[in-house]
Structure 1
Amino acid sequence: MTFRWLCGVLRVRGKTDLLLVFLFAAGFAALPVFALLPSLWGFAVASAVTYAVDEVLHTRSPAFVRRLAALQLTRTMRFAVRTVMLLALADRMDAPGAVLVAALAVFAAHFTLVVLYTAVHHAIRRRRTLPVVVRNLDMSGAGIAQSPPALLYRRFLRKLLHLDLPAHAGLLVALALGSWQPAGIGFALTTGLAVAAVTALLGQLRRARRMPSGDEVIAELNRQLAGYRPEVALYFSFASVSRDFMYQVNMWIETLEQLDRRPLIILRERASFRHLSRTSIPVVCVPKADDVAQLELPELRVVLYPGNAGKNVHMLRVAEAKHVFIGHGDSDKLASSNRVSKVYDEIWVAGRAGRDRYQRVRHAISDSAIVEVGRPQLSSIRLHADHVPGPLPTVLYAPTWEGWSDDDCHTSLIPMGVPLVEKLLAQNVRVLYKPHPLTGKRSRAAAEADRAIRELLRADNERRNGAAGQAALAAARPRLGELSGRLAGDDAQQTREARVAGPDGAAEWHELRAAWHRIFWESRGPVAHQVITQQLPSLYECFDQADILISDVSSVVADFVASLKPYVLTNADGLTDEAFRAAYTTAGGAYLLDRDCDRLPEILDAVREPRHDPMAPGRRILKEYVLGPDRPTSTQRFNAAVNALAEKAATEQEERCEGRQPLVAGLPG
């Protein structure tokens, strides 16, 4: 328990990271000791350790690095401490006054140049901040300048601060040899490189001054939109935490790509743009409400909203379009029948269960405003009858998050997550652990349980796979990175390079994603546990890998029902089975598991011995109730709903225009 608490406080993931933190702290603590003794070789080793471990922690434990910054122990401060200790060591070893003065001048000049470089960098970044970020529209006519070279622009502070290495190394060598020439060489290298870096960046500042104005960029965007003529828009905003919510958009991309009408994706936060999945659909990120108002979308007829957010009002004001809440999954949570949904023209749900859920919100949502469209995202999910089991039963544990407050907390992580995983490991199964993207954002207890589960799975993997599994994973990682398709450059560079996607773009990306998934699972092996937190592998790919799902009341369960595989709902509140099934629709086909997890061996028999699966008939009935009929397909039903609503909006727009004509004609001349 002490180990978990310590990992939670320091925000590290396991024993290795914790050891690195202790090594990091010991290195910095040793610097003043060796400087004052003085001990040249002890100081050199401690200094090298602090340099090396600092870099490793930035990669392995960014949360710990952020915790240091919150305590004012920023990277710059750590470099300054190391420099001061080096000067103290030189003084204690009776270095000549001229050398000390030169060292002080060089290090002061270096930090001054770092400040100057940072100021220039910020000036360039401000000039390169556009009012919009665009993908899949040809923005070459906007005249956006080329991004500065990555060597000068990306992670600049990390690179600049490390220019003190020649000066540090030169002074240490000089102290060891008693000759001050190495110090002079090191001082010259540090100063020269820092001056060259600032000079090079000033040249990039001149180029940044040629950036177009915001009005010019939006004018070019409107020209491109006029040529594309979007009819359907997916609109998404979720404030500062948008990157953690981007799954709400990504799940709809393939569905939008299959519409008869031309789609557009509108985002409101820059952070979300970089977490958008690959798509051939034009995408526009517009952070400011004033700029949203400048978008010219005369043929837009339907706007789809996967989430409820305050910034939705900036698009709801468009009277010419019909506004639809499509959500990001049907579940038995209260959020899936929110009274706020009344602001939309229609609410689209998967099946009859969604319609009935809104009946609970009495006198708020009209039944005629609810349309059942199915869940098009689930069309590719492999059915239970087509599933090929692996050497071990595969259990997908996908708990939901802790919620915005304890009142609506549905996660099983806090009350039973750790003992559940311990008992799963005792049953000799393979665990795929996919926590909700927001797990631990609000609750420290949820974060601690999450870390504990990851550590349990890591330790069991070491016991099962050893070095062979790690070697296979390391060998596959470069190829996986190559196939992931991440975009390079800042927002302005991505907009500069934006082009209309070719007809084969979507097919190529689907092939790349399939290859990514194949390599991912092959490199992990058929028995290794997996902790899945990134966009890839996708949730639905995890469905295909799993023999059984264990989850909480959430849309994950409703989606998993499409596979007809067995699934388990956690009953952490200790309700009776009858009361739990009465409260939650998706419990109709579920096995129920309380905090003690005593039923777990019996439930796993449904996987090991499919004949012992009494809930199978219930799942078949529940599937149609929750997700709608299989025919017509969800994709066809969703597309038909878009077409019908777009035609309705167009008809109403024509009627409004015709209604204004007599009034205009009757005005006095």
Structure 2
Amino acid sequence: MTFRWLCGVLRVRGKTDLFLVFLFAAGFAALPVFALLPSLWGFAAASAVTYAVDEVLHTRAPAFVRRLAALQLTRTMRFAVRTVMLLALADRMDAPGAVLVAALAVFSVHLGLVILYTAVHHAIRRRRVLPVVVRNLDMSGAGIPQSPPALLYRRFLRKLLHLDLPAHAGLLTALAAGAWQPAGIGFAVTAGLAVAAVAALLGQLRRARRMPPDDEVIAELNRQLAGYRPEVALYFSFASVSRDFMYQVNMWIETLEQLDRRPLIILRERASFRYLGRTSIPVVCVPKADDVAQLELPELRVVLYPGNAGKNVHMLRVAEAKHVFIGHGDSDKLASSNRVSKVYDEIWVAGRAGRDRYQRVRHAISDSAIVEVGRPQLSSIRLHADHVPGPVPTVLYAPTWEGWSDDDCHTSLIPMGVALVERLLAENVRVLYKPHPLTGKRSRAAAEADRAVRELLRADNERRDARDAQEAEAVIAAARPRLAEIQARLGELSGRLTGDDAQQLRDARVPAGDGEAEWHELRAEWHRLFWESRGPVRHQVIIRQLPTLYACFDQADMLISDVSSVVADFVASLKPYVLTNANDLPDQDFRAAYTTAGGAYLLDRDCTRLPEILRSVREPAHDPMAPERRVLKEYVLGPDRPTSMERFNTAVNALAEKATAEQAERLAEGEEQRVVVGA
């Protein structure tokens, strides 16, 4: 418990990171001690430790580094502490006054140049902030200058502060040798490099002043949009956007790419743009509402919204288009039948269950505004009949997150997650643990339960691998280079560009159209290698984009989850699934409250039903909920024929034609009024 508490307080992930934190603290604590003794070699060793561990922690434990910054122990402050301690050491070792004065002058100049460099860097960065960021449109005509070299521009503070190393090394060498020439050389190198860096960046500032005005950039974007003529737009905004929310957009990309009409993706936050998945669809990120109003989209007929957000109103003003809420999953949560949805022309749901869910919102949503389109994303999920079980049952535990407040807390992780995983391990099953991306972001209790579950799975993996641990690690290590190679190539094929937003806009081009087949082949190979290298019995904690949620579906014999869209999607596989009933409601009441509970096994808070539930996996003939799942699948997700993609495409075409007809009527009425006024 103490270990987990320390990891939580210090924002580190495990024993290695915790050891590095203690080593880091010990190194800084030793600096004043060795400076005052004085002990030259002790100080040199402690200083080297602080330099090295500081860099490692930036990579391994960025959350800990951010915690230090919040306590005003920033990187600059840490460098200043080392410098002050070095000057104290030199004074205690009776260094000549001239050397001390020179050292103080050089370090002061170095710090001043760091401040000047930072000011120039910020000036360049401000000038390079443009009103839009674009992907998959040719923006070469915008006249955006090349970004500064990465050596000068990226992670500049780390590089600049490290220019004090020659001065530090020179002074320490001089103190050891009793000759002061090394100190002079080190001082000269530090000062010279700092001056050269500032001069080089000032030259880049002159180039940044040639950035085009915002109006010209938007005008060039409108010229490109006029050539592309988008008819359907996916519009996404989220106030606290990060990579954790981008699944709401990424899940719709392949569906949009298969539409008959030309699609466009419009994002509102720059952070979301960085986490967009691979697509050939033009993408426009427009952070400001005034700039959204300047987009010229005369042929836009349908706007799709995967989420409810305040910034949606900036697009809802477009009267020529029809506005549709498509959501990002078919869930029984109240948020999936929000009264706010009344602002849209239509609401598209997967099946009859979605329509019935909106009927609960009385006098708000018209039944005629609801259209059943299925879930096109689920076409790749392997059916229960095609699943090949492994040597031990595989259970996917995918709890939802804690919500924005305790009133919204639907997660089983806090009240029963740790006990559930302990019982699963006692039942000798393989656990795939995939928490919601936002788990622990608001609730400390959820974060602690998440860490406890991960530790249980790690310890059980060690127990299972006790006999052949080296062989298991060797297999994983052998697959790691190829997995990394595939991920690097997938990154190239994704269309993501390097550099700041202005550089990405400058380099934006219309995609060549090739690479799609390679993309799918590489993703399939990555998943195959990953699961083969991990073996059929090791537990896995899935927190990255790969493996995907649906790949985890294909591996699992059973899902255990909370009320969420994950359950509705898993229904497509027809495999057994479990809903957690943490409040121990009577089964009848729970099933009446949640549609997806109709085909689920219900698990009580103490998990006493778990052994009996697992019989449906161990003894497939003993699966009393199988008929209920078949009925529920059509009710929740709609019929298999026509396919979801066909129904979704038909709905887009029908609504686009309706919007076109209404616009033609408005134009005809306007023309008639002008004729009457003219007469």
- Structures share fold, TM-score greater than 0.5: yes
After the TM superposition, which of the residue ranges 190-199 and 312-321 deviates more from structure 2?
190-199
**Deviation string for 1:321-378 (max 9, x for gaps)?**
0000000001110000000000000000000000000111011100000000000000
2:528 counterpart residue number: 518
Q: Which amino acid aligns with 1:468?
A: A
After the TM superposition, which of the residue ranges 428-437 and 285-294 deviates more from structure 2?
428-437
- Following superposition, the deviation at residue 477 of structure 1 comes to 5.1
2:562 counterpart residue number: 552
Aligned mate of 1:617, from 627, 630, 644: 627
**Deviation string for 1:296-320 (max 9, x for gaps)?**
0000000000000000000000000
1:119 counterpart residue number: 119
Q: Secondary structure at the match of 2:361?
A: coil
- Following superposition, the deviation at residue 393 of structure 1 comes to 2.3
Structure 2 Cα separation of the partners of residues 515 and 155 of structure 1: 34
Query: 1:183-582, aligned counterparts within 5 Å?
Result: 183-463=183-463, 464=465, 465=469, 467-468=473-474, 471-472=477-478, 474-476=480-482, 478-485=484-491, 486-582=496-592
After the TM superposition, which of the residue ranges 36-45 and 350-359 deviates more from structure 2?
36-45
Q: Secondary structure at the match of 2:324?
A: strand
- Following superposition, the deviation at residue 525 of structure 1 comes to 3.4
Structure 2 Cα separation of the partners of residues 343 and 394 of structure 1: 43
After the TM superposition, which of the residue ranges 530-539 and 625-634 deviates more from structure 2?
530-539
2:598 counterpart residue number: 588
- Following superposition, the deviation at residue 6 of structure 1 comes to 1.8
1:34 equivalent to 2:29? Answer: no
After the TM superposition, which of the residue ranges 365-374 and 510-519 deviates more from structure 2?
510-519
CA RMSD of aligned residues (A): 1.6
Counterparts in 2 of 1:526 and 1:193: CA distance versus 1, 3 Å: farther
1:651 equivalent to 2:657? Answer: no
Structure 2 Cα separation of the partners of residues 579 and 42 of structure 1: 70
Q: Secondary structure at the match of 2:308?
A: coil
After the TM superposition, which of the residue ranges 591-600 and 642-651 deviates more from structure 2?
591-600
Structure 2 Cα separation of the partners of residues 178 and 616 of structure 1: 85
Structure 1 Cα separation of the partners of residues 271 and 160 of structure 2: 25
1:153 counterpart residue number: 153
1:171 counterpart residue number: 171
- Following superposition, the deviation at residue 390 of structure 1 comes to 2.8
Q: Secondary structure at the match of 2:579?
A: strand
Q: Secondary structure at the match of 2:418?
A: helix
**Deviation string for 1:410-435 (max 9, x for gaps)?**
00111111222222223332222211
1:597 equivalent to 2:604? Answer: no
Q: Which amino acid aligns with 1:15?
A: K
After the TM superposition, which of the residue ranges 231-240 and 470-479 deviates more from structure 2?
470-479
Structure 2 Cα separation of the partners of residues 29 and 595 of structure 1: 48
- TM-score, normalised to structure 2, is 0.96
Q: Which amino acid aligns with 2:616?
A: A
Q: Which amino acid aligns with 2:32?
A: P
Structure 2 Cα separation of the partners of residues 401 and 176 of structure 1: 58
Q: Secondary structure at the match of 2:293?
A: helix
- Following superposition, the deviation at residue 506 of structure 1 comes to 3.4
Q: Which runs of 5+ in 1 are unaligned?
A: none
Counterparts in 2 of 1:259 and 1:219: CA distance versus 1, 3 Å: same
After the TM superposition, which of the residue ranges 628-637 and 450-459 deviates more from structure 2?
450-459
Q: Secondary structure at the match of 2:131?
A: coil
Structure 2 Cα separation of the partners of residues 165 and 527 of structure 1: 50
Structure 1 Cα separation of the partners of residues 480 and 56 of structure 2: 17
After the TM superposition, which of the residue ranges 620-629 and 588-597 deviates more from structure 2?
588-597
CA contact 1:136–1:281 (8 Å) conserved in 2: yes
Instruction: Could you list the structure 1 runs, at least 4 aligned residues long, displaced by more than 6 angstroms after superposition.
Output: none
Structure 2 Cα separation of the partners of residues 185 and 426 of structure 1: 66
CA contact 1:240–1:269 (8 Å) conserved in 2: no
1:68 counterpart residue number: 68
Counterparts in 2 of 1:197 and 1:520: CA distance versus 1, 3 Å: farther
Q: Secondary structure at the match of 1:397?
A: strand
CA contact 2:483–2:526 (8 Å) conserved in 1: no
Identity of aligned residues (%): 87
Counterparts in 2 of 1:480 and 1:186: CA distance versus 1, 3 Å: farther
Q: Secondary structure at the match of 2:307?
A: coil
Structure 2 Cα separation of the partners of residues 263 and 128 of structure 1: 28
1:660 counterpart residue number: 670
CA contact 1:590–1:619 (8 Å) conserved in 2: yes
Counterparts in 2 of 1:319 and 1:558: CA distance versus 1, 3 Å: same
Q: Secondary structure at the match of 2:559?
A: strand
Counterparts in 2 of 1:217 and 1:515: CA distance versus 1, 3 Å: farther
- Following superposition, the deviation at residue 585 of structure 1 comes to 0.8
CA contact 1:270–1:287 (8 Å) conserved in 2: yes
